[in-house]
Amino acid sequence: MPLVAHTDLPTFQRLREEGEEIVDPDRASHQDIRELHIGLLNMMPDAALEATERQFFRLVGACNQIVQFHVHPFTIDGLPRSPEAQAHIDKYYESFEKIKADGLDALIISGANVIGSHLPEEDFWQPLTEVFSWAKENVTSVLCSCLATHALIHYCYGVERTRLPEKRWGVFSHKLVNRHHPLVAEINSRFDVPHSRFNEIFQSDMEAHGLKVLAASKEAGVHLAVSSDGFRVVFFQGHPEYDDISLLKEYKREVLRFYHGEINDYPPFPEHYFDADVQQTFADYEHHVRNAREKKQVIAEFPEAEVLEHLDNTWSDTAKAVFNNWLGKVYQLTNQDRRLPFMEGIDPNNPLG
């Protein structure tokens, strides 16, 4: 069912242009259809800020529940922002205080770009834990993406993520560990998911603290897990929200960082993402970039347009199905007059149930 364009956020117009059904508030007010209010805590860096909005809005809007979706983006202090990104946030995002006052049916927390190894030392840690603390008492279900997964598990259990020997980056095959959980109903038993991270929380650590692992990869580790009650918290370590070009854009940024001397090593290809033709195109471009960097010459334009037709999206159908199952469960457990706390009836000594 449709997203409601309840603000002037440019993402709504971008999604309209892509063919998504977006309903204006006046039309929505004349439809006798239930509303669900979904928060999006967007912590992604400036380059991915608006793309992340579109990606999660698109997944919410693709759900087939008979409901009107109102998505409420907000962010927290402690994340460095350019003047342009901050202006976007100031104009279009809601404050956390307003979010708390109005209430939510469900909450999505995005990943973030973090260089440090110890999350509690990050400037955003205290504001993020305030969101966690409020959500556990006031939101029916929380879905965490990548770093948010690591942060919430650290916050609740003191389990620190482990630094990987090298970046886990690419599109990886996963299999269902539990085929009977409602969150993975009607999805393929094997499916792909993009990953992009330097750190991991291992399956053994999750299961040792009562989390239920639903999907994992031999190469990439756990992608999907849930809290011990089976629903109140959903954990992604991968990025099922990614567009087909998200990893390409990331690869481009890393190539430009190498050219500008911000990193010393030329970035490897994202695994299982570029076919042989694309790899050849970028191998030729690497030779050009290295030569231009050495001679302090201007580089040719990144050959993005040449490779687009070779990029396949092999994960979005599964992502949509999981989101549909998640929000269908939220729909069942909430009503228009009351937001059910996602921690209701849970032992306070075991924060995730």
Contacts of 52 (CB under 8 A, 6+ apart): 42, 44, 110, 241
Look-up of token digits 């708390």: 100
What is the rounded CA–CA span in Å between residue 307 and residue 83? 32
Instruction: Determine the 3-state secondary structure of 233 from DSSP.
Output: strand
Cβ-based neighbour number of residue 306 at 10 Å:
13
What is the rounded CA–CA span in Å between residue 242 and residue 313? 9
From the candidates 53, 241, 250, 254, give the one annotated as an active-site residue.
241
| Residue 262 among the catalytic residues | no
| Residue 63 among the catalytic residues | no
Beta strands in the chain (DSSP E): 3-4, 22-23, 35-41, 68-74, 106-109, 141-145, 162-176, 190-200, 212-217, 221-226, 233-236
From the candidates 146, 150, 174, 200, give the one annotated as an active-site residue.
146
From the candidates 37, 63, 239, 250, give the one annotated as an active-site residue.
239
| Residue 72 among the catalytic residues | no
Contacts of 298 (CB under 8 A, 6+ apart): 292
Is residue 53 a contact partner of residue 9, using CB atoms and an 8 Å limit? yes
Is residue 150 a contact partner of residue 114, using CB atoms and an 8 Å limit? no
Is residue 141 a contact partner of residue 231, using CB atoms and an 8 Å limit? yes
Beta pairing, strands 190-200 & 141-145: unpaired
Instruction: Determine the 3-state secondary structure of 322 from DSSP.
Output: helix
How open is the CA angle 255-42-67, to the nearest 5 degrees? 125
Catalytic residues: 146, 239, 241
